[in-house]
A and B are shown apart, each in its own frame.
Chain A
């Protein structure tokens, strides 16, 4: 089917495209997909909107990188440390936060993430504090005597990223089509009703969080290894948490492909804006003369304005596309093809929010 074509194309890409920048964009894309999909499990399916997911991301990154940098533990073993740490933390955070609902849960999740960030920031002997950890080198990966990769080019990261993104997609699919997913969504739709039907809220909410935390931590590990530098604001900050939520929301939460769409929108957009490619495109297309006043203004300011446009985009999506871009595209396609019978799955954006 179509899936295999896309998969084949993705797998073959590094052979055809060798420009490191293009590969870099794809890797960022995979990372964004993984982060969004991981958040989707607890936020989209289970309806628990944690805006403190950076806690798992950062803990994953720090655990593995600290083991690598200070104890020379190769990352393929170190990643287990990250997973263990993330799971432990998710249990603790879950036990604190899941007693709360709605906006209170959100605030608590943010507070917890901030506490972790501040602790990591101040625990200098352990984590090198504000200076962060700048990776020296990743040891080459060998199977027996054959060298698989020495991590010096982008290609191994590309495949690793692809694998990560695909596995999060797979997990999303499995969860959605399992009993677990059923319970999650029941909790999302109406927590009390679910409880009265005998669903163990604590267990399932924590299960959702644990799965989500695990994959978020893996994304953190991948980020740390790929970028080679982590510091508390970079991996434990509110910005990171918000970005994860954004990827999911803009794409369309509670769906498998939503975060993919979200990633496809956000990653190229932020690179294009930041690197001034948009202004260049306008000049090349002849829409704006480079030397005109408008052209100069754009050249000088559009790069700074990437965050502004980000913000505007968020506002627009929230106001006019509550199902995210995916939902919007679906409605558009639906109208153009044939009228759909009402879906059996309730559309998330239509319900009144919990009060």
Chain B
């Protein structure tokens, strides 16, 4: 039984709490009002493009390449009279946050188009939203095939999808020798799984037996047991898909354990960074497939690399080139179409460009929609440097095969 005084006190407290809550709610409404009130559309002079990237989080080191590539594009665009207003969004490597960012760019910021995200998981999630909100989306470097296999008219992808990563590596290696067995080690994320799956399909097609299939959780520092297990099975090829940290750790520990296949195949990302290559003890003779390299014969590729190096003090990865090209294409198209989303979409679908990524044309084929048929290269790390070895028209040096050991 509660006394009257107590009830009164409770009611009083409750009232006062409500005042507090109401004040807070007012503040919140005020914020939303601010969000709505701030002028949102200004297509006339500037070209407003949104960028979703992994600025922080585990993929940040590669995300940095995308950021820098876009910054170089910004410079070049302003030289040709296009004033770019970029809205940067950090997805921290999480698809949910990428989706949130996309919502904001599409509905609140009124961007003409979006470039990004970086990771496969984020790109796939955001593609759906681009289609729903009808905002042109240009994906620069995400590998997951599904992204452009869903019939989304508003989603475009510059880079070659995962199956090409695997395909080009296998084509290169089967030209050099006749390996019969293969082991897969990959991180169990969207990127790792889809690239490994593509690899497995291709291995089967080429008649190479899969002796080990080892997904790992990224970030856990010790792969020795997994590698020991693989070593015992004596595979002739080892196919790895990792982002930065794990690529280096995997190779270090592979060396430690004494894993010695005929070739190490690195499926993109972590194996394409200079950080990895410069660690000569562990990176030598690793094959990796890439979207771009600075010694490839596409117009402006070498100059881009020099300029990037001069401005940022390090070598660019293919992600930088992809992002640069994507931004150039998107911004140029957006400027020509005066920021009209539907017209931009149309122009992207029908246009063609030539630049540091070679010829770019978004086509529909084999179940892909708006996919650029980008040829990938196989690089091999020889003595700390990336050297293009396949296909023949891009090859600069001959590949060294088989792996000569540690």
List the interface of chain A (C-beta within 8 A of B).
Answer: 2-3, 6, 9, 17, 19-22, 24-26, 29, 118, 121-122, 129-132, 134, 152, 227-229, 231, 233-234, 257, 260-261, 264-265, 268, 272, 274-275, 277, 303-304, 307, 326, 329-330, 333-334, 337, 340-341, 343-344
Nearest chain B residue, comparing its CB with the CB of A344: B6
Q: A21-B107, A329-B20 are in contact. List 12 more A-B contacts (CB 8 A).
A: A6-B21, A130-B188, A130-B190, A130-B192, A132-B95, A228-B125, A229-B99, A260-B21, A275-B89, A303-B55, A307-B56, A329-B17
Q: Is the CB of A134 within 8 A of B189?
A: no
Q: Is the CB of B35 within 8 A of A21?
A: yes
Q: Does B19 contact A (CB under 8 A)?
A: yes
Q: Which of chain A's residues have a CB closer than 8 A to the CB of B194?
A: 131
A131-B121, A326-B17, A344-B6 given; A19·B32 CB < 8 A: yes
Q: Which of chain A's residues have a CB closer than 8 A to the CB of B215?
A: 129-130
Interface centre among B20, B90, B194 (most CB of A within 10 A): B20
Q: Which of chain A's residues have a CB closer than 8 A to the CB of B17?
A: 257, 326, 329-330
Q: Name the one of B15, B20, B121, B132 contacting A132, with C-beta atoms under 8 angstroms.
A: B121
Q: Name the one of A6, A233, A261 contacting B20, with C-beta atoms under 8 angstroms.
A: A261
Q: Does B31 contact A (CB under 8 A)?
A: yes
Q: Is the CB of B107 within 8 A of A234?
A: no
Q: Which of chain B's residues have a CB closer than 8 A to the CB of A29?
A: 28
Interface centre among A2, A21, A129, A277 (most CB of B within 10 A): A21
Q: Is the CB of A333 within 8 A of B19?
A: yes
Q: Is the CB of A21 within 8 A of B103?
A: yes
Q: Is the CB of B128 within 8 A of A2?
A: no
Alpha-carbon gap, A229 to B94, bound state (A): 11
Q: Which of chain B's residues have a CB closer than 8 A to the CB of A118?
A: 217
Q: Which of chain A's residues have a CB closer than 8 A to the CB of B94?
A: 233-234
- Write the nearest CB–CB distance from A123 to chain B, whole angstroms: 11
Interface size (B, Cβ < 8 Å)? Answer: 48
Nearest chain B residue, comparing its CB with the CB of A223: B96
Q: Is the CB of A2 within 8 A of B190?
A: no
- Write the nearest CB–CB distance from B89 to chain A, whole angstroms: 8
Nearest chain B residue, comparing its CB with the CB of A284: B38
Q: Is the CB of B20 within 8 A of A229?
A: no
- Write the nearest CB–CB distance from A59 to chain B, whole angstroms: 18
Alpha-carbon gap, A307 to B94, bound state (A): 14
Q: Which of chain A's residues have a CB closer than 8 A to the CB of B32?
A: 17, 19, 21-22, 25-26
Q: Which of chain A's residues have a CB closer than 8 A to the CB of B188?
A: 121-122, 129-130
- Write the nearest CB–CB distance from A38 to chain B, whole angstroms: 19
Q: Is the CB of A227 within 8 A of B99?
A: yes
Q: Is the CB of B21 within 8 A of A257?
A: yes
Alpha-carbon gap, A25 to B388, bound state (A): 49
Q: Enumerate B3-56 residues with CB–CB distance to A below 8 Å.
A: 5-6, 9, 13, 15-22, 24-25, 27-28, 31-32, 35-36, 55-56
Q: Is the CB of A134 within 8 A of B20?
A: no
A–B pairs, 7, beta carbons within 8 Å: A21-B36, A130-B193, A227-B96, A257-B21, A264-B25, A268-B27, A333-B16
- Write the nearest CB–CB distance from A157 to chain B, whole angstroms: 12
Q: Is the CB of A19 within 8 A of B16?
A: no
A131-B190, A234-B96 given; A229·B56 CB < 8 A: no
Q: Enumerate B81-103 residues with CB–CB distance to A below 8 Å.
A: 88-90, 94-97, 99-100, 103
Q: Does B124 contact A (CB under 8 A)?
A: yes
Q: Name the one of B18, B24, B95, B107 contacting A229, with C-beta atoms under 8 angstroms.
A: B95
Q: Which of chain B's residues have a CB closer than 8 A to the CB of A274?
A: 90, 97
Q: Which 3 A-B pairs have the closest CB atoms?
A: A22-B32, A21-B108, A20-B107
Q: Which of chain B's residues have a CB closer than 8 A to the CB of A20?
A: 103, 107-108
Q: Name the one of A6, A265, A268 contacting B22, with C-beta atoms under 8 angstroms.
A: A6
Alpha-carbon gap, A2 to B9, bound state (A): 17
Interface centre among A134, A272, A304 (most CB of B within 10 A): A134
Alpha-carbon gap, A241 to B298, bound state (A): 49
- Write the nearest CB–CB distance from B5 to chain A, whole angstroms: 8
Q: Is the CB of A19 within 8 A of B107?
A: yes
Alpha-carbon gap, A279 to B91, bound state (A): 18
Q: Which of chain B's residues have a CB closer than 8 A to the CB of A337?
A: 16
B123-135 interface bits toward A, Cβ cutoff 8 Å, 1 = contact, 0 = none: 0110010001000
Alpha-carbon gap, A274 to B57, bound state (A): 13
Q: Is the CB of B36 within 8 A of A134?
A: no
- Write the nearest CB–CB distance from A67 to chain B, whole angstroms: 20
Q: Is the CB of A340 within 8 A of B20?
A: no
Q: Does B280 contact A (CB under 8 A)?
A: no
Q: Which of chain B's residues have a CB closer than 8 A to the CB of A234?
A: 94-96
Alpha-carbon gap, A229 to B128, bound state (A): 10
Q: Name the one of A2, A9, A303, A344 contacting B18, with C-beta atoms under 8 angstroms.
A: A2
Q: Which of chain B's residues have a CB closer than 8 A to the CB of A3?
A: 18
Q: Does B104 contact A (CB under 8 A)?
A: yes
